Structure formats: C-alpha cells, structure tokens
Amino acid sequence: MPSDYHPAADGAVRRGSVLTSAAIGAALTPLNSTMVAVALPALSAEFGAPAATVTVLVVTGYLAATLVCQMPAGSIADRLGYARALTWGRWMFFAGALVGALAPSLGAVVGGRLLMAAGGALIIPTAMALLRIAVPVERRSRAFGTMGAVMGGSAALGPAIGAWMTAQFGWRSLFLINLPLLLASWMLQPRVADERADLRSRPFDWQGSVLIGVALLLVTFSTRDAAPRAYWLAGAGAVAFIALIAHERRAAAPVLNLALFGQRGFVAGAGVISTQNLVMYSLLIQVPFLFGGGAGSAAGLGVAIIAMTFTMAAMSPVGGLLVEWVGVRPVVAAGGLIAALGVVLLTGLSPGASPREVGVRLLLVGLGLGLSTGPANASAISAVPQEQSAIASATVSMLRYLGAIGGTVILSFALGGGDAGARQHVALWAFVAALMISVVLGLMLPPLPGEGIRRRGSQPA
C-alpha cells in the first residue's frame, strides 16, 4: 500500500481550506435532493404538468441519476486525479444549475437536474479522496466526521431553505444559489498532491458501469412496486448483480473493485455505515406511522425527527475527536450501543406516546449514529491504497444506499398486512439487531494510525 501523504511535511497544503472546499462541494448533492421538494407545486403550476409527473422527473430522476453515476464517477476520479475530477464535477454541477435556472420548459429543468446529479456523483467521492490525501491519518476521523455533519445538516436544512427561497425569490433561485457555493468551493481549494491510479493502459469499464446501474435501479424500483412485479424486478436485479460480479472478476480496471472486500477495515467500516443507515432511514419513515395516531401531533413528531438528524450531524465531528483519545473501536461500538438503546426504548412506547417521549429516544439514536459515522468512514477509506480512494468512497456510498433499501424491505413487512402494531414492533427489534451487528463490525475495525494520541499526551503532526 502506498504511504499516506502528510501535509505536515508540505507547507503548501492548508488542511482547513481543503476541508472547507470539499465540504461545500459535497454538501450540494444532499442539499439539492431535499431543497427542491417544496418547489414542486410551483414547477407544476408554471409548466402545466401533473404534480406526480413533476415529482418523478425532478426528484426521483435526480436521485436515480446520482445512484447510477456514483460508481463510474469513482473510477473516473481515480483515473483523472482528484483535484482535476473535483473541478470537472463542479463545472458539471454549475452548468446544470445554470440550465435549471434559465429553463424555458420542464424538460430543461429535468436536463439541468440530471447534469447536476452527474456532477454531484463526481464531486462526493472525489472530495472524500482529497480529504484522505490532505488530512493526516490521526486527524482523519475528525475530518470525515465534519464532512458527514455538513452533508447531513445540508439535507436536513434543505426543505426549510427551499421553502424560504421559493417564497422570497421564486423556484429559479433554488438553482442559482448553487453558483456562488460552487465558486467558493473552487476558490478555497489549495493545491494538493494529485495522485491517481495508473490505469492509462486499461480501458474504462463501460460494461460494468451499465451492469451496476441497471442492477441498482432494478433493486430500487422493486421496493417501490407491488407484488408480483416487485418480485420480478428484484429477481432481475439479483441476476444483474451476479452478472456484474462475474464480469468484474475478469475486468482489467473494474468499476466495482472486488479486491476492496478483502480489506478488513473497509468491510467493517462500510458495514457499519450500511447497517446504521438502514436504521436511520427506516426510522425517518416509520416513526410517523407508529406514533402519529395518538396524542403526538404530526408537527411534534416532525420536530422530533429533525432533532434526531441534527443530533446525528452535530455528534459526527465529536466521534472523530474521541478517536484521538480512546481509539476507533470503542467509539464506533459505543455509538452502535447507544443507538440500539434508543430503539429498544422506542419499543416500550405506546402508539399514543407524546412527541417529547419519542424525541428523547430519537435523540439517543441520533447521538449514537453520529458518534459512529466519521470513524467508520475514515476506517473504510483509509484501509485501501491511496490511489483507489475515490472508488472506495463511491463503493461506501453504494453500500449506504443498499442499507436504506434493506430498511424499506423491513418497512414493507411492518406496514403491510394485518396486526400492524405487532409487525412494527418486530421491525423495531430488527433495527436493534442491525445496530448490534454494527457494534460487532465496529469491534472488528483495525486501529487507525495515531489513534489515542491525545491520551498519550502528544499532539498530532
């Protein structure tokens, strides 16, 4: 494995600027995934299109494009070099936002959103890779935790920002707001060592890119459809994944690098992120169904859910900082245990529980998930060769998404059929089991270089 680049030995690299630049760029994708939702009625009215059509094209299309593009984008970034790939991603996002802001038709809005999604898919893994290069390994958990806080916070703030801007300036402002943020990200980025994988003699894996995109889309749509078509879609998705794995075993430069799964740190770190995202995403959907029928108002439960997401975002940097004192294993394992305790306490509430009672338990869940996020991400990305950082980051994102898909499968059981209350409690215990798996995976993480450095009384380089 190539030795990690340490900016302490290179006075030209400013870690704070790298983190700020990367965080601003990476925050745009989650921000734009939620910010536009409140503008859908305005888009529907202006272009005379049905609300359902606008939602599918503008929101679902953006998410699907991000999903399909993220793995090829990781491979492209490893080929181009991270600074150059990040610049390309910014310009694509910039162009898409400009097209959306000036769009004369709904088709142009959709085209702009798709271009933004492709640019964002290139920005996120590249930004993570740049952090891996520019931040010393002993501070990496804190940096990844901060990045997770920014991305989570931007997604949570998106609806509020979108509602205010649409009311004040109209829906086109939701596209224009991206332009100064992209320029700020570009201006703040200092020069960094721009490593890349030596893949010039190997063709790009187009077949693998198509297979993984088809597989992910089929699996996604299978969770949004009714039987028996859902079973056919899921089966076709499984066949596509099998074909993908068979192809990637022979590919010279695979878009899904199966060798990553031979690294204990990558498997354990990505597994923590995937299983915990399963729980987080599912609770966001389930809590209103489980507790919305009694004394708890919809508004109160909404505040409780927002409190969980903000607690998760706020605790992400704290988890990274704690690694510098006690190490990665106890922090990630403790985070999983705290989150599991919060879900266990949810099982003891009646459907008529107050928003306050629900909120206290969700705060525990958010606290635990926040502690785990940064250290788990840092462990996964740090476990692979430096020149494969972008494809590793893209793979972690894919596994995070697949965790959410797994949560929707559990929710389909919980919210369907008779005796919904009993089914929903079974689902909660399934989430507890997922969190306990994350605890076991956290205990499997290899130590990060420099962890516990503050406890030993020395300062990071």
pLDDT at 450: 64
Backbone torsion region of residue 45, taken as left when φ is above 0, otherwise alpha when ψ lies between -120 and 50, otherwise beta: alpha
pLDDT at 454: 59
pLDDT at 461: 43
pLDDT at 152: 78
For residue 14, pLDDT over 70 is answered with no
Range in 180-184, 196-200, 261-265 the model is least confident about: 196-200
pLDDT at 2: 37
Query: pLDDT tens across 396-406, in order?
Result: 988 988 888 88
- Within 13 Å, how many C-alpha atoms sit on residue 116's CB side? 34
User: Considering the domain 7-189 in this protein, what is its CATH number?
Assistant: 1.20.1250.20
pLDDT at 227: 73
Query: pLDDT tens across 85-118, in order?
Result: 888 999 999 999 999 999 999 999 999 999 999 9
Helices 355-382 and 140-169: crossing angle in degrees, nearest 10, is: 130
Residue 163 near residue 36, CB atoms below 8 Å: no
For residue 387, pLDDT over 50 is answered with yes
Range in 154-163, 292-301, 315-324, 379-388 the model is least confident about: 292-301
pLDDT at 199: 52
Query: pLDDT tens across 190-246, in order?
Result: 665 555 555 555 688 899 999 999 999 998 888 777 778 888 988 999 999 999 999
Higher pLDDT pick, 234 / 414: 234
pLDDT at 460: 46
Nearest to 124 by CA among 86, 160, 81: 86
pLDDT at 338: 97
Range in 13-27, 141-155, 354-368 the model is least confident about: 13-27
For residue 271, pLDDT over 70 is answered with yes
Range in 234-243, 319-328, 364-373 the model is least confident about: 319-328
Q: Could you please state the CATH topology (level 3) that the domain comprising 261-444 is classified under.
A: Growth Hormone; Chain: A; (1.20.1250)
pLDDT at 11: 41
pLDDT at 194: 54
Q: What is the mean pLDDT of residues 152-164?
A: 84
pLDDT at 4: 44
Confidence of residue 23 (pLDDT cuts 50, 70, 90): confident
pLDDT at 110: 94
pLDDT at 418: 64
Q: What is the mean pLDDT of residues 39-63?
A: 87
Q: What is the mean pLDDT of residues 41-49?
A: 90
Query: pLDDT tens across 335-347, in order?
Result: 999 999 999 999 9
Helices 15-35 and 106-134: crossing angle in degrees, nearest 10, is: 150
Please give the mean pLDDT across all residues of the chain.
84
Confidence of residue 24 (pLDDT cuts 50, 70, 90): confident
Confidence of residue 290 (pLDDT cuts 50, 70, 90): confident
Confidence of residue 376 (pLDDT cuts 50, 70, 90): very high
**Paired tokens of 13:** 């690299």
How is the chain split into domains, by residue range?
Answer: 7-189, 206-252, 261-444
